[in-house]
Amino acid sequence: MSLSGLKFGKKKLKEEERQLQANNRDFNLQFEYANNSIKTSKYNFFTFLPLNLFEQFQRIANAYFLFLLILQLIPQISSLAWFTTVVPLVLVLAVSGVKDAIDDFNRHKSDKHVNNRPVQVLINGMLKDEKWMNVQVGDIIKLENNNFVTADLLLLSSSEPHSLTYIETAELDGETNLKVKQALTVTAELGEDLQKLTEFNGEVKCEAPNNKLDKFTGTLTLRGEKYALDNEKMLLRGCTIRNTEWCFGLVIYAGPDTKLMQNSGKTTFKRTSIDRLMNVLVLVIFAFLGLMCLILAIGNGIWEHDKGYYFQVYLPWAEGVKSASYSGFLMFWSYVIILNTVVPISLYVSVEIIRLGNSFYIDWDRKMYYPSNDTPAQARTTTLNEELGQIKYIFSDKTGTLTQNIMCFNKCSINGKSYGDVYDMSGQRIEINENTEKVDFSYNQLADPKFAFYDHSLVEAVKLGDVPTHRFFRLLSLCHTVMPEEKKEGNLIYQAQSPDEGALVTAARNFGFVFRARTPETITVVEMGETKVYKLLAILDFNNVRKRMSVIVRSPEGDLTLYCKGADTILYELLHSSCDSLKEETTEHLNEFAGEALRTLVVAYKNLDEDYFQDWIRRHHEASTALEGREDKLSELYEEIEKDLTLLGATAIEDKLQDGVPQTIETLAKANIKIWVLTGDKQETAMNIGYSCNLLHDDMDDVFLIEGHTSDDVLNELRNARKKMKPDSFLDSNEINIQFEKSSKKPKIIPDEQANGVYGLVITGHSLAYALEGNLELELVRTACMCKVVICCRVTPLQKAQVVELVKKYKKAVTLAIGDGANDVSMIKTAHIGVGISGQEGMQAVLSSDFSFAQFRYLQRLLLVHGRWSYIRMCKFLKYFFYKNFAFTLVHFWYGFFSGFSAQTVYDEWFITLYNLVYTSLPVLGMSLFDQDVDDRWSMLFPQLYVPGQENLYFNKMVFVKCMVQGIYSSLILFFIPYGAMYNTMRSDGKAIADYQSFALMVQTCLLIVVSVQIGLDTSYWTVVNQFFIWGSLSVYFAITFTMYSDGMYLIFTASFPFVGTARNTLSQPNVWLAIFLSITLCVLPVVGFRFLKAQLKPTPSDKILLKIKKDKKKPPPPSPKRRLRRTSTRRSGYAFSHQHGFGALIMSGRNMRPKSPFATTGTFSPNSDKHKHKGL
């Protein structure tokens, strides 16, 4: 079935337009639209084995070992038994297969859970319970309060007045405030009448499936009439129905065609940089293997020609071999089999086990467990752990990731006096913490118990009846678009279009001005216990140009007043000249608030003349009904009446950060990690959060704003920024300029450029659209990557992914994306590492992530502790593994020169089989699972230790060459010392010891002890497990050797165990042990000497930090600084507005009004009544 509603034929055509008919499955089936089933799994029961094996043999190494197995089955060239390759190969395939099966089983489970959710579908005039996966395009379904929206629906009708439906879109855009959708009037009439709904046969034509969350265009044709459809009439999958008893919707897009799934991005197979490097190194090793085999094959050809040819009676050539050159050809393949252990298959098994073990550490970490909602950290993939130790760029969402999306009324300025700070007896400002005494609002029966305020002087001003203070809170209780809900008496719940408005109205409520109820014509407020009903005459709505909103009300006493709140930059221009002195005082307070990154609004009012207002309202009615230029006419009228305002003061709201965000960002910055914030919020809000969480600060040399509306403007702004940061980056001699002048289609990696200071960059969504175009993307990445911090605001989910992709394309750096909403999914999938925050905004981001946890602050532990340890462990493992296998394998190479290049093995075949699987596997796994250079506390205290991982210093091509050279050196010692010790040697009883079997045993014993000593040198952190594995492996070696070389085993399995008596005869000789000791000394001494001299003469920054830590360990580590990150600023703070334009008109129309609350009528409930009157008033 097509995922985009395409017909299957010889060619697959892209869907250009969607056409469907309600209640007509037969009509809709002809287009083969996708049904509502989603599938994220890869296999089923029958396809698992063939598909999984096909995928596994796409790995170069697995295909290579299969090729070796085939060679070993050819008798003429087989120099090793077939089981030496089959056993490890089957083990590798089985381990990987089981892991893939478990992962896919979990995907099946998740798919099944979603696809089997129940929903009521209208079929043949009746509502039937169906599974989500059986829902099809054109079906009409019923949703109830708190239901998830099943598919992308056209809203037909609902239980609310005028068929309004309230939805929460947290999973789509990360916003928890409610949004309102409204059905067409023609469909609203259908109500919940099943007969009418069944007869509804409207035909919808609309755009093809796409990922634009905020856009939808289409038409509904019903009874010959056409009706326009837009996004305001759509309920998207991923939303949740709120405060709406029921609603009916027509399925437009289902399953993979829904906007939620279209925004999920393409799932790519993620591989670490070490994986990619290993593939290159494996190819290098194959080339090296081929060279060795070629040398030995040529040697065999020459030897057979010069010597072997003349005593074929003693050493006959193999059957079919007629010449020395053919013998050399066969020997080439024989040596390929013998020397294959230079890339052992157990390497890949061990890598998987190490990654799995390090993933469990993340799952088990109690310091990343969030008890509030019982959420542990989770490694959702086991293949990317070491990449966590190499992150250079973090791309973070804002809402729900850095912030809690909870707004708190923090401070205010009223009539030139600032409230909100707390002072001690000496007049010194004290820091507010959990022990600070809160204001007691118990005198107010309608107060919100969750509201906290600490400055008692504001309550005193309210109680004393201070006129400006009362007017200030009256304004906050009247000038808004909040909807109240009171199901129980006194239990008020506010449904706000923006959390900012909710915070302001709640503040007014607690200070004695309780917004109780509203109708299209009135607003009911309980003022200091007295219920008052204000007539609502007009709402002058907010939009992004006006940056303010006003209401005109008539008080019970008959006074006409305009109340206005908005951005300080806008409102200051509208004030009466008499407010100049108050304006200066308020500006000082605004700057203080901005210094603490609070979101501010200025509030003002104006008393209106009755005659003037009547004339104005008449003109307002004419403008609002005008067919042409309606918006412009209304805007002019708003400008006319909103002037000569009287300033009241300002509000300051805190957009609460998640715990520990500023400290986390500060720590990550010390680790040389650059943080980019990609948010859908407006510029002012994003910058506010940038300052409050310590991303931006006043010590920066500059913060560049990129907000051009044309391609040329954006280019100029970017270039001007780069010119200031690094003037010489424009010179023709600049390395990057030279590099990009050479024409090449392949994307070039841009080296890091250092700016001449500390800079930040803020770019808006419309400017980013131009900057991401082909000719500007290079300019964007060069300018942005020079900055310490980049904030992209008003960006779409697709733009988030494009920004991440841009950095991946031009920078040799590992990227991490972190978010918590469905709008972050594409970014999470695009980055090298995706982290999902399991918070308020659903699980969509978590399901697409590689790692998940509940709080942003856990990111520093994930990277600086788990990531760094995983990277160091993997690097140590690879260095040791390649070393021990070069040392093991190259002994065969040197032996070839002394065995007539006959492809005879140095070691016993059983030793070859067990070397990587038994004798050396556990010690290296012990080191790779438990090793740590410093513990987690020191890792967090010294983030600079993270830098070597970013620069990939611990394992790279040069480090590999060093391992190779060390392995070659060790193999020379391990062959020639035993060879010299054995040459013409006698035992103590006079018998000869210089036989092949004794030599083989001595070499393999030397080898095993040397590699065990080497792993001891590589281990930084000793545990009981490490000790047990190293000594246990040596013990197992001697136990197996003495058992296999015993008389009993020879008598039972004569052909399989020919080394009878060798162990007891050889290892009982003192000169053998002396030679073993000499081999160990010669192999280990250069390593110890080199490491000592390097640490003394040329220490790395990490060496210096580790030395400092060793000194500091003698005294307890200092506690983490818990200081308040305060600053002062003269920048203007952003204004706190984010509700939808047009909501004021909706309120005035009354279309969203519910039946009047029985508790909201005048005089029915008052804190001043005898029943509720408090003694304190």
CA-closest candidate to residue 240, choices 334, 151, 145: 145
β strands within 497-598, DSSP E: 513-518, 522-527, 530-540, 548-554, 560-566
SS3 content of the chain, % helix, strand, coil (to 5): 45, 20, 35
Cα–Cα dist 956/961, whole Å: 9
Residues 6+ apart with CB under 8 A from 967: 882, 883, 884, 885, 886, 887, 890
Cα–Cα dist 970/622, whole Å: 95
Cα–Cα dist 372/737, whole Å: 53
The DSSP annotation for 156-223 comes to: EEESSGGGEEEEE-HHHHS--SEEEEE--HHHHTTTT-HHHHHH---EEEEEPP---TT---EEEEET
The CA-based angle 40-44-45, given to 5 degrees, is 155
> What tokens does 349 get?
């098994």
> What tokens does 788 get?
């310490």
Neighbour tally for 693: CB within 10 Å: 26
Cα–Cα dist 1054/387, whole Å: 50
Give yes or no for a contact between 221 and 152, defined as CB atoms under 8 angstroms apart.
Answer: no
Q: Which residues partner with 527 through β-bridges? A: 513, 530
CA-closest candidate to residue 1153, choices 519, 551, 524, 484: 519
SS (H, E, C) 113-139: HHHCCEEEEEECCEEEEEEHHHCCCCC
DSSP character for 272? -
Neighbour tally for 471: CB within 10 Å: 19
Specify the 3-state DSSP secondary structure of 897.
coil
| HSE, side-chain direction, 13 A CA sphere, residue 890 | 21
Cα–Cα dist 631/623, whole Å: 8
Residues 6+ apart with CB under 8 A from 774: none
| 397 in catalytic set | yes
Place of tokens 């002072």: 423
Residues 6+ apart with CB under 8 A from 957: 277, 280, 281
For residue 37, CA distances in Å to 70, 134, 209, 825 come to 44, 7, 16, 19
Cα–Cα dist 382/98, whole Å: 13
Catalytic residue among 152, 173, 257, 397: 397
Cα–Cα dist 1158/487, whole Å: 9
Cα–Cα dist 899/315, whole Å: 12
How many residues are recorded in the chain? 1177
Cα–Cα dist 645/725, whole Å: 43
Active site residues: 397
